[in-house]
Every structure is written in structure tokens, then in C-alpha cells.
Amino acid sequence: MQTQVELAKNGIITPVMEEIAREEGLEPEVVRRRIASGQIVATLTGNGKGKSVGIGLGLRTKINASIGTSTDIIDIDAEVSKARAAEAAGADTLMELSVGGDLDEVRREVLAAVTLPVGNVPLYQAFYEANRRYGDPNRLDEEMLFELIERQCADGISFMAIHCGINLYTLERLERQGYRYGGLVSKGGTSMMAWMKVNGRENPLYERFDKVVDILKRYDVVLSLGNGLRAGAVHDSFDRAMIQELLINCELAEVGLKKGCQMMVEGPGHVPIDEIEANIILQKRMSNYAPYYMLGPIPSDIMAGYDHIAAAIGAAHSARYGADLICYITPAEHLALPNEDDVIEGVKASKAAAYIGDMAKYPGMGRERDMAMSKARRDSDWEKQFDLAFFSDDARAIRDSRSPQDSSVCTMCGEFCANKGSLGLFGHLLPGTKKA
């Protein structure tokens, strides 16, 4: 079976490419060319009941929601509920990141519950199972790792974050640097680095990269090159270890594409707002504009409880400067396992951020809707406002909870409504004003 990349390189426009083109308002040929060049990936739903999602150059910025058990809280029903809530809230993709319980069962239940493309991080289960079998995660056998990657692909995973860019040279850069204000914050990346040091061996995901690509190609799963040395503090942004891994990942993205595998590159993490543009420019230039999957980013380290708001600010800038997929952050970030309400809040904050960023990234995108909303507000046309609102149900619920005496206004200004007063005085000067 040929992958979408191979078909695109052969000049074939597939139903998947046509679907993405319709969704994004592009010509199918544009989508085909960009998939062939590695600038767009098509995440396919392995369960066969969902739609494909395009991620990359010229497309709407997508939002990923992450769920999964922890070693403290193992509740498969809760994770399934969170997955469904993320889809209902508008997430474009989902990552199942469980590290506790029967991980095969959790993954399969989540895959069955949603129509979204679902991604994961194979190293989580690999080290979990090595620890369960041998009492030591550093006894992980690399053949077991590759068998696990294939099993997860066969289950219907759409994209995988795999930490291929960590190698002995990367670790040398980290050790020579001699500091990390935020330490190491990637579970999979840190576990692999520990395995390398304990066993005195190269990362098999880097050393045998061709095997990783061959497995994912077999199922046309997108390989998202994981960011194991991402900055977990704004003061670690752009340090040498992080940049070294980014450089290797951009090189591997090119290698994987030539072999016919769909490729994405992952980015940080914690990035001060004035460095977001440079981070994205660096990734895009080094990877020939491969899709960039940004984790947040969070532009401040002290917003615990409101990290989703801080991350939304970072995400808006990221979308504006060219990021293609944003991993949401919830209010529980750095504090606890997210619950269903956290998931919904995280998705909505990130969706708003992506929309705002896309308005600047693609001049004209969505601005007609914003103009229509401004006129509806001016005219006190409440039903039209609800129709146009990004979160219509939430907007209606808030108004209904505080209904005004005069239904033409709201309880913010009541009889002092500026719009209502101005229409009588200046309505003849306002284009498109609704006539009384």
C-alpha cells in the first residue's frame, strides 16, 4: 500500500486530499503538492469512521487535546468521557497518553469512542511495561519497543510522537551546557536518556530510524518527531541542547519524507513571547516548512491554575507566525491530572487562540464573520450574535442567566446602552445599519 506522500509524489489526488481541500477551501492540487513536498500531513483515522485532518502550510491551525491515565488515577471510563468531551468541544486531534493501568485497553477504548485522529507516545508504554516485567525500565529491550510501535499502529493510531532526535551527541551538548533551570520535562525523552546512560548505548529510535519509518509507513501513520529536550522553563528556551535536538529532528523529517513517510516536527514547551517567532522561523527553514506541532507554548512559568490562559497567548502568537498544530494546555497543567471540565476549558482556550492567530496568518480568514458580529452587536440583533459567536451555546447561556428587562440590551449597560442610543443619533451615518 502506498502512503499519501507516495501517491502525492506520483501525481495522484486521493479522496483524502480532496476531503482536506474541501474542508480548507483549497484546490485539491495545492494539497497534493504540499503533501508531496512534506509541507502538509494528512492524519488518517485508523478506526475508519472518522474524517482525515490536514495539518500544515496554508491550512487552518489545528488543536490537539491530550488525555490519559496516570499511575495515581486509573479510570478508563473517565478517560473515554474526556476524549468525547474534547471532540465535542472542537478539538481537531487527540493524544492518548496513558501511563497507568492496562494501556492496550485504554488505547483501544479511546480509539473506539471518538472519530478524531488519535496520537500517542510509544515510549510511555514501552518503559511502563519494562518496569512491570523486570522491575527496571532501563531493561527495556529494543525489539520489544519496535514490536510495541507496530501493535499500536495496528490498533489504529493516526500519529505518533517518537523521540528519535535524542542521541549521544545531543546528550553531550546537554552535559557540556551544564545547567537546566527547568530540568527535563519530557517523560518519554527523560526515560530514553536514562536508558542510554545506564546501558551506555545509542538511542535505538535514532540508530534504527529506518526501521521506525518502515513500521509507520506500513500503516501510513504520521511520524511526529518528539521534543524530548524541550524547554520546561522560559529561561531554557533556545538553549544548545534544545536547538541540537531540533536540528536533528529537522534532518530526520527530510530523511523520513524521502522514504515516503508523513512527517511532523514537535516544538517546545516554554517559550517567552518575544522568542516564539524566531523559534518557528528556525524550524520552518531547517525542515523545508514541515508541519510544526507546538506544545503550548507557555510564555511564563508562574501562571499555575491559569496556564491555559498563558498558553492561549502563546498559541495565538504561534499560529500567527506559522505553527500548524497546537497542543492545548488545561488549567490543571503542572498541578494535577485534568478532569473533564479542564479538558473542555483547555480546548476552547486553544481554539480561540488559533482563530485569532489565523486571522493574522491568513489575511481575510474569518474577518467577514467578525465584521458581521460587530454589526449584529451595533444593531442589538441577539439571535444573529449567537449564530456568529465562536462559542454560541456558552454565549446564549450567559445572557439567559442574566436576562435584562429590555430584551434589546444586556444587563451590562441596561438603559444606558451606547449602541441603542447612538442608532437614533447617528444611524444614518453607519453603513449597513438595520432600519428601525
Quote the pLDDT of residue 435: 47
Give residue-wise pLDDT tens across range 304-362. Answer: 999 999 999 999 999 999 999 999 999 999 999 999 999 999 999 999 999 999 999 99
Task: Give the other-Cβ count within 10 Å of 101's Cβ.
Answer: 18
Q: Tens of pLDDT along the chain (436 residues)?
A: 899 999 999 999 999 999 999 999 999 999 999 999 999 999 998 766 778 999 999 999 999 999 999 999 999 999 999 999 999 999 999 999 999 999 999 999 999 999 999 999 999 999 999 999 999 999 999 999 999 999 999 999 999 999 999 999 999 999 999 989 999 999 999 999 999 999 999 999 999 999 999 999 999 999 999 999 999 999 999 999 999 999 999 999 999 999 999 999 999 999 999 999 999 999 999 999 999 999 999 999 999 999 999 999 999 999 999 999 999 999 999 999 999 999 999 999 999 999 999 999 998 776 899 999 999 998 889 999 999 999 999 999 999 999 888 888 888 888 787 877 666 666 555 666 554 4
Q: How far apart are CA 362 and CA 147, in angstroms?
A: 42
Q: What is the pTM of this model?
A: 0.94
**Other C-beta atoms lying within 10 Å of the C-beta of residue 11:** 10
> Of 210, 221, 203, 202, which is closest to residue 150 (Cα–Cα)?
221
- DSSP state string for 68-114: ---SS---HHHHHHHHHHHHHHT-SEEEE---SS-HHHHHHHHHHH-
How deeply is 297 buried, as exposed, middle or buried, from its count of CB atoms within 10 A (0-12, 13-18, 19+)? buried
Give the CA diameter of the chain.
80
**Phi-psi group of 364: left, alpha or beta (phi > 0 → left; psi -120 to 50 → alpha; rest → beta):** left
- Strands 40-43 and 53-56 turn out to be antiparallel
pLDDT of residue 419: 76
What are the residue ranges spanned by the domains of the chain? 60-361, 371-429
Homologous superfamily assigned to 60-361: Radical SAM ThiC family, central domain (3.20.20.540)
